[in-house]
Amino acid sequence: MSRWMVWLLVISLPLTVIGEWLHWSEILLFWLACLAIIPLAGLMGQATESIAILSGPRIGGLLNATFGNAVELIIGFFAIRQGLVQVVQASLTGSILGNLLLVAGLSFLIGGIRYPIQTFNRLAAGTNASMMLIGVVIALVIPAIFTLQRPAIGVELSVGVAAITWVLYLLGLFFSLFTHRNIFNYAQDLPDEEAPWGMARSVGVLVVATLAVAYESEILVGTIEHVSKAFGWSDVFIGVIVVAIIGNAAEHSSAVLMAWRDRMDVSLEIAIGSSLQIAMFVAPLLVFTSLAVGNPMTLVFSWPEIAAMVLGVALITLLSLDGKSNWLEGAMALGAYVIMGIGFYLI
């Protein structure tokens, strides 16, 4: 973890505790919680990564692919408990768009400034594109269009869709970690990575950071309404842009770093793998959780959210299917992200 992340943590975490105790303004608490979650998410990521390396490639891959977006899951849980279902949907949208367009776009652009053309695994890109089509596009368009005719079926249909995408995600893991591991074998070409920490320390860090994230998430969720009133921002804008970015900032920076080192496969694995994880693992879990908690969240997203995600998937599919990237492709993905950001800001 870089030095400024440590400083961010050391300053913002105690301040949130003090601030909550002294009843500081909700708006201040919201931003403090945001700032605290960024390095905590980084810590959790590093601890998970460390445990994954120590557990060998298969169990490690499984760990990364299931706990990699734990922060999203925790924030989503508290938001659902508060009944902020729209904010959760918006933050899922924002995470998917952020990973697909912002992270992949920055990676293409930054890497493309240094290398005229960068290449990556076409086969993996094809499998990922098909998974995104079913996990993002089909899983969101079908509920939205079928409930136009009969809104009452929203919950049932969402549960069915969530169950199937969840199973497909697990089958996808089985495919990439077991039956067709050789297609995704770029990890084996890398120099042996050493785990930064031992197992005991990693587990300890993971547990403590998770508890701290849960604490901060509760504050964040509890203050969203005040921020939305004070700044005149919609819940959706806060979810799509603010909440989505803080949960992924640490991961984002490492994707861009990998692009700069011409390891575009790793970059794209972070960007696209993380989108898939949110759409096919986190979102279904939140649907099931929401039913258990009694505030049912459906997969019936708003049309702007659906349009943005479908177009984002289409753009990244087109940009990645040829297995090559350049700076202009990065600029296009970023341009699309800005266009959508303006849209979500204005509505």
Which residues in this chain contact a copy of itself in the complex, by CB under 8 A? 116-117, 123, 126-127, 129-131, 133-134, 137-139, 141-143, 145-146, 148-150, 153, 156-157, 160-161, 164-165, 167-168, 171-172, 175, 179-180, 302-304, 307-308, 311, 314-315, 317-319, 322, 324, 326-329, 331-332, 335-336, 338-340, 342-343, 346-347
Whole-angstrom distance, CA of residue 309 vs CA of residue 281 = 17
Shortest distance (Å) from residue 286 CB to a copy of itself: 18
Q: For a copy of itself, which is the closer residue by CB, 244 or 340?
A: 340
CA dist 27 → 16, 32, 34, 216, 294 (Å)? 12, 9, 11, 14, 28
Identify which of residues 22 and 346 has a Cβ nearer to a copy of itself in the complex: 346
Nearer to a copy of itself, 21 or 303 (CB): 303
Number of other residues whose CB lies within 10 A of the CB of residue 102: 26
Q: Which of 61, 91, 86, 60 is nearest to 74 (CA)?
A: 91
CA dihedral 329, 333, 338, 340 (to 10 degrees): 140
Could you identify the residue written with the tokens 């970690």? 177
Structure tokens at 227: 């921020």
Q: Specify the DSSP class assigned to residue 304.
A: H
Question: Based on CB atoms, which residue is closest to a copy of itself, 50 or 127?
Answer: 127
As measured in angstroms, the least distance from the Cβ of 227 to a copy of itself is 20
- CB of 160 vs a copy of itself, minimal distance in Å: 4
By beta-carbon proximity to a copy of itself, the closer residue of 4 and 303 is 303
Residue 168 C-beta: closest distance to a copy of itself, Å: 5
- DSSP assignment string, 26-56: HHHHHHHHHHHHHHHHHHHHHHHHHHHHHT-
Least distance (Å) between residue 52 CB and a copy of itself: 22
Q: Which is nearer to a copy of itself, 149 or 200 (CB)?
A: 149
Which lies closer to a copy of itself via its Cβ, residue 34 or residue 87?
Answer: 87
What six digits make up the tokens of 144?
């939205």
Question: Tokens 């640490």 sit at which residue?
Answer: 250
CA distance 47 to 149: 47
Residues in the chain: 347
Q: How many CB atoms lie within 10 A of CB 18?
A: 11
Distance of closest approach, residue 342 Cβ to a copy of itself, in angstroms: 4
Min dist. Cβ of residue 170 to a copy of itself (A): 10
Helix (H) or strand (E) holding 324: strand 324-325
Minimum CB–partner distance for residue 65 and a copy of itself (Å): 14
CB-based contact 146:300 (threshold 8 Å): no
Q: Which is nearer to a copy of itself, 34 or 137 (CB)?
A: 137
